[in-house]
């Protein structure tokens, strides 16, 4: 459309009018839609409590609901040649009884017709071309007919009856198209609907999203799958064909395919179904597996059928705008018949399919745990797994007998503590020329850094007979505790020539104890440690400490990158090793900025 002029083949996306419905009123009050209809239409003989009637009217007013009302003006269409008033809109449908969708489109068409002082006449062909031709012939012979809405039960390309392809009688296509494009049309924007559903799941933190589609030969199924794939591509997520299953629009196929998806080695955390009945089947399958929706798995449907709002939990879904399409088709038909509002051109509309948020989708985050000790990790990891939340551990791993990487948590990001101890020992072997007596200050008893750093160091020392560990005691990773333990051990081993501390804090404490005992750290006693703190680098630069192996604390960028890869569905190793530097007299001063 340009400067108010409609192009001959104007293809546009339109948003459905979000008018409140009787279902909205019923859901808010907690009564059936039939009760609301009885009250609002003031039907006689209905034994509805006055309190309920008052609630219905109050909520209807609150939501802005209005029953269809005739407008005061008559349609501008000129009378027929015989002088008859043209106020009949004929709605020709191939089928209406096998799906709830046509009924909603008819409701929208009836509402729009009545608002414009027209009546809607519905004719059902059952797909019988002979019957369709007879209906068209009778329609053309009726002087009261304003125009025809030609509708189909599922979206497809149609061959219009010859009499409706061209000619003076206005005709608008509803839920179908014609290759000649000689008539205005409205269809649902299914690609956009598929995109909206998948995008919502992705925005909620889901990266493995199952998709249970309808019958693949249907336009709706193809386009909804296209939207799903486009949303994945937009989020830079890989498409996994194992997560896509072809159903038959029935709840049984939703149950069957959801069960199969959840039995995959890497099951999805969310399932997007191409219609609501299959989504309801998926809900039952997930419950049958002992899982919760949305706690363990999120489920999203498509159509917004009335049953979706009454599911347990109420189903988040994508609205198929049948009512709005019916309204638009009749309004456009009247415009073209009346020659008003730029009706000289044709319009080809794809109606938006917006998201309807309820309670079957939960946000899925990712937890990064960085505890001081690993023992408290186990309950936290198990609780997160039960809630369906992936966990990344940093700096402290867990006992593989109690929690399994790749199953209970995603990965461990951290240093190789054994290698740190090995590197410290190898430096000491060279610095001491393989001779000396060593005091080892261990970290917190039972902690993985203490156990691993001891193993790496002790294994190397054991291979060098000139070196001997004369004492080994925990300093609990504390500077003051390290000082106290070193003071005690010096009394028993005054001839010690080297100190290996499991962290820099204990090493600095040991240096204080050595100095208090009249020894010169770095000369009388060599000190090597692990961490790479600023205090340790300063001690190395001053000659009081020999070396330290960095235990990098800079996990943030690595954790973020790992989380990003996980979100994209990339394979994550069970251990993301952090590269640790080594500092001695030759580089400590130059790398002072690395200290923390």
3-state SS assignment for residue 525: strand
Query: What is the reported pLDDT for 82?
Result: 54
Cα(479)–Cα(511) distance, rounded to whole angstroms?
10
Cα(540)–Cα(589) distance, rounded to whole angstroms?
8
What stretches of 391-502 show up as alpha helix (H) in DSSP?
417-431, 448-462, 479-492
For CATH 3.40.50.2300, the residue range(s) in the chain are 190-318, 417-554+580-594
Mean pLDDT of the chain: 88
Query: What is the reported pLDDT for 11?
Result: 55
Give me the CATH code for the 190-318 domain, please.
3.40.50.2300
Confidence of residue 9 (pLDDT cuts 50, 70, 90): very low
Rounded (5°) CA angle 340-342-343: 65
Cα(175)–Cα(159) distance, rounded to whole angstroms?
13
Pairing of strands 88-93, 346-351: unpaired
pLDDT digits (tens, 9 = 90+) for 499-535: 999 999 999 999 999 999 999 999 999 999 999 999 9
pLDDT digits (tens, 9 = 90+) for 342-356: 555 788 999 999 999
pLDDT digits (tens, 9 = 90+) for 508-517: 999 999 999 9
Query: What is the reported pLDDT for 27?
Result: 72
Cα(374)–Cα(396) distance, rounded to whole angstroms?
6
Q: Dihedral sign, CA of 16, 18, 22, 25?
A: positive
Distance spanning both ends of the chain, measured CA to CA: 63
Instruction: DSSP for 537-555, please give it.
Output: HHHHHTTS--EEEE-----
Of 134-138, 395-399, 421-425, 504-508, which range is least confident? 395-399
Sheet of strand 547-550, all strands in order from the earlier edge strand to the far edge:
467-474, 436-442, 498-501, 526-531, 547-550, 582-584
Query: What is the reported pLDDT for 455?
Result: 97
Mean pLDDT (whole number) for 57-70? 79
Indicate the helix (H) or strand (E) that contains 323: helix 322-338
For residue 66, say if its preceding peptide bond is cis, omega within 30 degrees of 0.
no
Strand partners, 373: none
Confidence of residue 3 (pLDDT cuts 50, 70, 90): very low
Query: What is the reported pLDDT for 72?
Result: 44
Contact between residue 524 and residue 495 where contact means Cβ atoms under 8 Å apart: no
Confidence of residue 227 (pLDDT cuts 50, 70, 90): very high
Of 79-83, 222-226, 229-233, 301-305, which range is least confident? 79-83
Confidence of residue 53 (pLDDT cuts 50, 70, 90): confident
Query: What is the reported pLDDT for 112?
Result: 92
Q: Has residue 4 got a pLDDT over 50?
A: no
Label residues 330-360 b or e (16+ Cβ within 10 Å = b). Answer: bbbbbbbbbeeeebeebbbbbbbbbbbebeb
3-state SS assignment for residue 149: strand
Confidence of residue 81 (pLDDT cuts 50, 70, 90): low
Contact between residue 233 and residue 203 where contact means Cβ atoms under 8 Å apart: no
More confident residue, 66 or 246: 246
Cα(414)–Cα(230) distance, rounded to whole angstroms?
36
Q: Has residue 454 got a pLDDT over 60?
A: yes
Mean pLDDT (whole number) for 240-245? 96
Q: Has residue 207 got a pLDDT over 60?
A: yes
Contact between residue 184 and residue 173 where contact means Cβ atoms under 8 Å apart: yes
Query: What is the reported pLDDT for 68?
Result: 61
Q: Dihedral sign, CA of 454, 458, 459, 461?
A: positive
Contact between residue 26 and residue 36 where contact means Cβ atoms under 8 Å apart: yes
Contact between residue 293 and residue 360 where contact means Cβ atoms under 8 Å apart: yes
Q: Has residue 213 got a pLDDT over 80?
A: yes
Rounded (5°) CA angle 433-436-439: 130
More confident residue, 381 or 228: 228
Query: What is the reported pLDDT for 344?
Result: 59
Q: Has residue 163 got a pLDDT over 80?
A: yes
Contact between residue 162 and residue 137 where contact means Cβ atoms under 8 Å apart: no
For residue 294, say if its preceding peptide bond is cis, omega within 30 degrees of 0.
yes
3-state SS assignment for residue 415: coil
Q: Has residue 382 got a pLDDT over 50?
A: yes
Mean pLDDT (whole number) for 143-148? 94
Cα(64)–Cα(381) distance, rounded to whole angstroms?
48
Cβ neighbours of residue 568 closer than 8 Å, sequence gap 6 or more: 207, 236, 237, 238
Give me the CATH code for the 417-554+580-594 domain, please.
3.40.50.2300
More confident residue, 266 or 275: 275
Mean pLDDT (whole number) for 363-376? 74
pLDDT digits (tens, 9 = 90+) for 243-253: 999 999 999 99
More confident residue, 271 or 309: 271
What's the token pair of residue 340? 């008003």
pLDDT digits (tens, 9 = 90+) for 460-494: 999 999 999 999 999 999 999 999 999 999 999 99
Residues in the chain: 596
């Amino acid at each position: 459309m340009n400067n108010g002029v409609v192009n001959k083949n104007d293809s546009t996306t339109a948003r459905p009018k979000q008018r409140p419905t009787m279902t909205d009123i019923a859901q808010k009050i907690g009564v059936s839609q039939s009760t609301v209809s009885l009250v609002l239409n003031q039907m006689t003989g209905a034994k509805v409590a006055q309190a309920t009637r008052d609630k219905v009217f109050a909520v209807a007013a609150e939501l802005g609901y209005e029953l269809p009302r005739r407008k005061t003006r008559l349609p501008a269409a000129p009378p027929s040649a015989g002088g008859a008033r043209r106020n009949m809109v004929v709605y020709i449908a191939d089928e209406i009884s096998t799906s709830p969708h046509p009924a909603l489109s008819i409701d929208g068409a009836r509402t729009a017709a009545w608002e414009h002082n027209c009546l809607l006449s519905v004719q059902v062909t059952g797909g019988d071309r002979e019957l369709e031709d007879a209906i068209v012939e009778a329609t053309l012979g009726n002087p009261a007919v304003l125009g025809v809405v030609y509708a189909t039960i599922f979206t497809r390309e149609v061959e219009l009856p010859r009499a409706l392809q061209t000619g003076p009688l206005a005709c608008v296509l509803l839920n179908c198209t014609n290759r000649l494009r000689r008539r205005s049309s409205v269809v649902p924007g299914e690609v956009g609907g598929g995109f909206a559903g998948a995008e919502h799941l992705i925005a909620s933190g889901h990266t493995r999203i199952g998709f249970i589609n309808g019958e693949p030969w249907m336009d709706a199924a193809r386009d909804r799958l296209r939207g799903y794939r486009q949303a994945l591509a937009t989020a830079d997520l890989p498409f996994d064909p194992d997560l896509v299953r072809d159903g038959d629009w029935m709840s049984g196929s939703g149950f069957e395919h959801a069960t199969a998806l959840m039995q995959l080695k890497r099951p999805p955390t969310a399932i997007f179904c191409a219609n609501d009945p299959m989504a309801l089947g998926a809900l039952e399958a997930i419950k049958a597996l002992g899982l919760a929706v949305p706690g363990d798995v999120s489920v999203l449907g498509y159509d917004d059928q009335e049953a979706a709002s009454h599911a347990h939990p109420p189903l988040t879904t994508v609205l198929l705008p049948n009512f709005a399409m019916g309204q638009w088709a009749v309004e456009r038909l009247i415009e073209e018949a009346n020659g008003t509002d730029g009706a000289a051109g044709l319009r080809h509309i794809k109606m938006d399919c917006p998201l309807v948020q309820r309670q079957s989708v939960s946000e899925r985050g990712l937890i990064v745990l960085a505890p001081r000790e690993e023992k408290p990790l186990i309950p936290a990891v198990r609780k997160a797994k039960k809630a369906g939340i992936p966990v990344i551990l940093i700096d402290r791993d867990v006992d593989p007998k109690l929690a399994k990487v790749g199953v209970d948590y995603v990965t461990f990001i951290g240093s190789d503590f054994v290698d740190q101890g090995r590197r410290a020992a190898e430096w000491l072997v060279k610095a001491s020329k393989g001779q000396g007596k060593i005091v080892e200050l261990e970290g917190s008893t039972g902690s993985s850094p203490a156990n691993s750093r001891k193993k790496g160091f002790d294994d190397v020392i054991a291979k060098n007979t000139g070196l001997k560990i004369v004492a080994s005691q925990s300093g609990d990773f504390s500077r003051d505790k390290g000082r106290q333990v070193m003071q005690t051990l010096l009394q028993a081993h005054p001839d010690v020539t080297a100190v290996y501390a499991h962290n820099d804090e204990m090493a600095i404490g040991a240096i204080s104890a050595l100095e208090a005992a009249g020894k010169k750290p770095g000369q009388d006693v060599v000190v090597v440690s692990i961490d790479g703190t600023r205090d340790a680098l300063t001690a190395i630069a001053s000659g009081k400490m020999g070396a330290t192996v960095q235990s990098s604390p800079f996990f943030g960028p690595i954790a973020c990158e790992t989380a990003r890869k996980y979100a994209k569905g990339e394979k994550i190793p069970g251990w993301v090793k952090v590269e640790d530097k080594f500092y001695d007299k030759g580089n400590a001063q130059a790398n002072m900025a690395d200290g923390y």
